[in-house]
Structure 1
Amino acid sequence: MPKPIIRLARADEYDEVGRVWMESWVSTGLAEASNFLLANLRARVRREIEDGWTLFVADDNGTIAAMLALHLPNLYLDQLFVTPGYQGQSLGRQLLAFARTQMPDEIYLRCVRENEKAWRWYEREGFVFEKEEVATATGFMMKCYRWKRP
């Protein structure tokens, strides 16, 4: 079975990207699915694109399996979310490798402190913890990481 193709998201897919984001976020156990959360994430996708996101999707023959949001001028990996049905198939690793082609020398990211599975994965992938800070938009304590090309 071929791997999903990573490509730029189209504007007509933004609502679906919001759904992918919600399903993946809910799979962490840190939130519950709701129409309110879905509406907020869908609105945020559009707002973040206006603020400089470059948004990619992993397209599995017409199904959006994952999202990757990069803020290239700041060397920032803002969001990487894989839908539950595609987790455990190395799609996250494929997305991270793609992010490194877009930002080959250095990448910054933040991860919710309580999302231990995610930040441990980033550490295994070579990211180095730098500090913790509160995300003003959500109130979550965030772990800040940086990766530099060896």
Structure 2
Amino acid sequence: MTPPTIRPARPDEYDDIARAWMESWVSTGLSPRSDGLLSDLRARLPREIANGWSLFVAGDDGTIAAMLALHLPTALFDQLMVVPAYQDRSLGRHLLAFTRQCLPDEIWLKCVRENEKAWRWYEREGFVFEKEEVNPRTGFMMKHYRWKKR
């Protein structure tokens, strides 16, 4: 895959972004695909943006292949979701490099403990495990990681 175009998301894309988010999340095996999940993600996008998310999309030829949500004021790498058809093509690595340009000194993130593929990838990319705690809203046990510039 050639380097993807990474750009700010537009409000008219929120429906497509929510679908991409759902497909990526469902691919983890942690939740089934459902209209309720899609509805929740659609509602969450504008709410999170109002609360400070910088939302980006990546893709080619107008297709949304991935979404990236950063909360720049707190250095939070909040969401990285790659549509299953685009997984294992280094798209996540491109988005992480973009994140490191936006947050060059320090980044922190949370990852569902049962999503082993994701947290093992973060560890290979230099993130260091700090702690685990339950997300009170979802009930998932979350692993907290931090990356600092050397």
TM bracket (short chain)? over 0.9
Q: Secondary structure at the match of 2:77?
A: strand
In structure 2, C-alpha distance between the alignment counterparts of 1:20 and 1:137, rounded to whole Å: 22
TM-score (norm 1): 0.98
Encode CA deviations 1:78-116: one digit per residue, 9 max, x unaligned.
Answer: 000000000000000000000000000000000000000
In structure 2, C-alpha distance between the alignment counterparts of 1:60 and 1:133, rounded to whole Å: 37
After TM superposition, give the deviation of residue 33 of structure 1 in Å. 0.4
Residue of structure 1 in register with 2:35 after alignment:
35
1:66 matched to 2:83? The reply is no
Q: Given that residues 21 and 41 in structure 2 are in contact (C-alpha distance below 8 angstroms), is that contact kept between their aligned partners in structure 1? A: yes
Deviations 1:23-66 (A, max 9, x none): 00000010110111000011111110011000000031100000
Indicate the residue corresponding to 2:99 in structure 1: 99
Alpha-carbon contact 1:3-1:60 (below 8 Å) kept: no
Gaps of 5+ in 1: none
Structure 2 alignment gaps of length 5 or more: none
Residues 72-111 of structure 1 aligned to structure 2 (within 5 Å): 72-111=72-111
Matched, 1:138 2:138: yes
Counterpart CA distance in 1 for 2:35 and 2:86 is: 23
Q: Tell me how far apart the structure 2 counterparts of residues 127 and 2 of structure 1 sit (CA, whole Å).
A: 25
Root mean square deviation of aligned Cα = 0.8
- CA shift, 1:4, in A, is 2.0
The two structures have a TM-score, normalised by structure 2, of: 0.98
- Percent identity between matched residues is 70
Q: Which residue of 1 aligns with 2:44?
A: 44
1:24 alignment partner in structure 2: 24
